[in-house]
């Protein structure tokens, strides 16, 4: 049985060259993601912060809990439409996990 700690070690901390290469590629993708709308400029940096943090990186795998949602709530304005938020999230998560959303 794989524990959360084992998962974290393999995917976040393991120094193997291929995993280092994957992490470097992800970081490059995150740095180069285009922020074209005001919503993206507010939301994506907060999601990137979650993805890169040791405790919240599973957000890209659909692990959303109330603490993660609360941390993102400051990125939203009352005028933001749920459809626009959903579109931004889906597009961004395709960058993080391209095979899972096709």
For 22-42, give the DSSP string. Answer: HHHHHHHHHHH----SHHHHH
CB-CB neighbours of 17 under 10 Å: 7
Is there a domain that residue 101 lies in? no
CA–CA dist 80, 67 (Å, integer): 21
Q: What digits encode the pLDDT tens for the residues 33-85?
A: 899 999 999 999 988 887 777 665 565 556 677 777 788 888 999 999 999 99
Is there a domain that residue 17 lies in? yes
Answer whether 26's CB lies under 8 Å from 12's CB: no
Number of domains the chain contains:
1
CA–CA dist 94, 82 (Å, integer): 18
Cβ neighbours for 48, distance < 8 A, ≥ 6 positions apart: 30, 33
Name the more confident of 53 and 6: 53
Tell me the mean pLDDT in the region 12-19. Answer: 78
Identify the domain containing residue 32 by its residue range: 4-96
Note the Cα 39 to chain centre separation in Å: 15
What is the 3-state composition of the chain as percent helix, strand, coil, each rounded to the nearest 5?
70, 0, 30
């Amino acid at each position: 049985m794989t524990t959360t700690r084992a998962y974290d070690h393999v995917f976040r901390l393991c120094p193997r060259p291929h995993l280092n290469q994957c992490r470097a590629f992800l970081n490059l993708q995150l740095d180069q993601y285009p922020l074209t709308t005001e919503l993206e400029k507010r939301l994506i940096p907060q999601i990137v912060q979650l993805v890169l943090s040791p405790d919240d990186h599973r957000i890209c795998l659909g692990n959303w809990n109330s603490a993660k949602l609360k941390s993102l709530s400051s990125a939203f304005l009352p005028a933001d439409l749920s459809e626009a938020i959903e579109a931004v999230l889906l597009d961004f998560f395709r960058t993080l996990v391209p095979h899972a959303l096709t």
